[in-house]
Amino acid sequence: MADLTLAVLRQGGEAFMEAVSREQYLAASGHKPNAELRPIYARFAQVLGQGALELTRDAFRAATPGSEDSRSARALLDWQVEYQASRELAELDERLIDWEANSVIRLADGREVPYQRAPVEMATDPNRDQRLALDDARAALVERELAPMRAERLQRERDLIEALDVAPSYVAAFEALSGIELGALATECERFLSDTQSMWSEVHAEAVRKHLGLRPGEATRADALALMRATRFDPYFPAADMEPAVRRQVTEMGASPVAEGRIIYDLAPRPGKRSRAFCAPVRIPREVYLVLLPHGGATDYRTLLHELGHALHFGNMRDDLPFEYRWLGDNSITEGYAMLFDHLLHDAGWLARYSALGRAHVGEYRRAAAFEELQFLRRYAAKLVYELKLYGGDTPWSSLPDAYVDILSSATTFRYRAADAFVDVDPRFYSARYLRAWQLQAALREVLTARFDEDWYRNPRAGPWVVRELFEEGQRELASELAERVGAPALSFQPVIRAIEAGLAA
């Protein structure tokens, strides 16, 4: 490679990201048995070498705060920090991917369940004894084999990033590179948990008694999976109608559901395909995969819409944007677009038009969806509070499992397991991105409603505006800056709470 400059780094960085994304797509979609990441890191050693780190770090420090140079350098340095650590952890990441793809949970009754299938099995099994037995066996396997690897990765990642001389600590490095003040966001989360506590206590107790036949304090996270799955609505969300309905809606909105052929839908079952759906932008914006292993019911519709929000974003970006604004930047934005689409399943008009619920069942479904939304939000608010303890360095690692159980169980009223303390963690405070995304989607929905009416999702004028004003701009801005540019309210949890209250009152 030529002498390293920012231009050379951008060119090599794009080739590297395409190679990694394609490898991860092939392995996670079941096209390959394992991800081979280390050869890719070796091939692009200069892109992720000490010189690249110093180049981007110097550019970030030299740029005038608030300038375009600062915005660009922040994104490039954030990428360098993440992938410098990932290069050192590639061998462990390969082992983790292989473990999750191939591990099997063996139960006392002789049943064998692939690890990847466990959440699906627990969500769909009406027999609570079997559900809890599977979760017991899963937790034992995780504690014995997966949790130590995950804990090692978290510790090593924190140590590696702190050694890169970006900021004095892991938390400070994230804040400097993300533009998110974690302490302020955690305070918002604690206020959200307090403001919604009485509402949550009421709806949680009612749902657990009515649908699980349990007292509130008895329900576990495995029970929560079954409760949120809400199989009673499955007949109204037939699998055969899912993709056509979603494609029809996007078309009626005035946009292409395949971004003029750049989005490929990968929805077929396949051995080795991971149960968690994902979007794989292999070449932005030219080649984007939407990957889903269908499980059935409304959950599939919501998941497809979520990943489609990502795919439409990646597939409609301007291809003349610099590398850092297409591949990097504030992922709160792409998560916000994904949530904007998956939250269509909270909309009475969308449900009446694109599902088989019929108006008689829309209200009941919306109440269930609002309950699920509140649970997820409280869970992620608590996750951020916990992850600040995990990454903050003041809490001994041996104490973290108890802290995890206390914080998550208190927020959700479902009993969590200590075995998951190092597994149920989104790397590099991704929970903060999700929380900002929740706020962003609520703010954008208000803008779209004001511009294109309540049924903006089928207004043929809305799609071109969304593509032009939102998707095409990639991730050049922070989520808060995007909201301000399009005239949205300042990001907060208040519009999110209002939407949940409206759903519960449906």
pLDDT at 276 over 50: yes
> What class is the 187-504 domain?
mainly alpha
Other C-beta atoms closer than 10 Å to the C-beta of 460 total 12
Query: Chain-wide mean pLDDT for the chain?
Result: 94
Other C-beta atoms closer than 10 Å to the C-beta of 42 total 11
407 vs 386: CA distance, rounded Å: 7
163-179: string of b/e by CB count within 10 Å (b at 16+)? Answer: ebebbeebbebbbbbbb
Q: Write down the domain spans for the chain.
A: 1-102, 187-504
pLDDT in tens, 162-181: 998 899 999 999 999 999 99
Q: How far apart are the first and last CA of the chain?
A: 61
pLDDT at 1 over 80: no
pLDDT in tens, 440-459: 999 999 999 999 999 999 99
pLDDT in tens, 96-118: 989 998 999 999 999 999 998 89
Nearest to 479 by CA among 434, 448, 440: 440
Where in 267-336 does DSSP place strands (E)? 278-283, 287-291
Average pLDDT over residues 226-246: 92
pLDDT at 322 over 60: yes
pLDDT in tens, 20-53: 999 999 999 999 988 898 899 899 998 989 999 9
136 vs 417: CA distance, rounded Å: 10
As a three-state string, the secondary structure of 116-140 is HHHHHHHHHCCCHHHHHHHHHHHHH
pLDDT at 2 over 80: no
Check residue 355 and give its pLDDT: 95
Q: What Å distances lie between residue 15 and 22, 58, 313, 320, 429, CA to CA? A: 11, 23, 20, 16, 26
Q: What single string gives the DSSP state of each residue in 191-255? A: HHHHHTHHHHHHHHHHHIIIII---GGG-BHHHHHHHHH-GGGGGGS-HHHHHHHHHHHHHHTTS
Tokens of 386: 């916990």
pLDDT at 3 over 90: no
Tokens of 36: 């081979």
pLDDT in tens, 145-164: 999 999 999 999 999 999 98
Nearest to 6 by CA among 66, 64, 65, 80: 80
Residues in the chain: 506
Instruction: Using the structure block, give the residue that is written with the tokens 């690249």.
Output: 52
Tokens of 71: 């915005």
Nearest to 415 by CA among 212, 231, 275, 155: 212
- Helices 68-88 and 147-162, axial angle in degrees (round to 10): 130
pLDDT at 340 over 80: yes
Instruction: Using the structure block, give the residue that is written with the tokens 């489609």.
Output: 308
pLDDT at 319 over 90: yes
Cα angle 184-86-385, degrees, rounded to a multiple of 5: 25
pLDDT in tens, 361-395: 999 999 999 999 999 999 999 999 999 999 998 89
Residues 6+ apart with CB under 8 A from 457: 249, 253, 344, 347, 350
Check residue 44 and give its pLDDT: 93
Q: What proportion of the chain, given as a percentage, has pLDDT over 90?
A: 86
pLDDT at 132 over 80: yes
446 vs 184: CA distance, rounded Å: 24
Residues 6+ apart with CB under 8 A from 95: 149
- Output 294 or 113, whichever has higher pLDDT: 113
Q: Are 309 and 343 in contact (CB under 8 A)?
A: no
Average pLDDT over residues 139-144: 97
pLDDT at 12 over 80: yes
Residue 23's SS3 state is helix
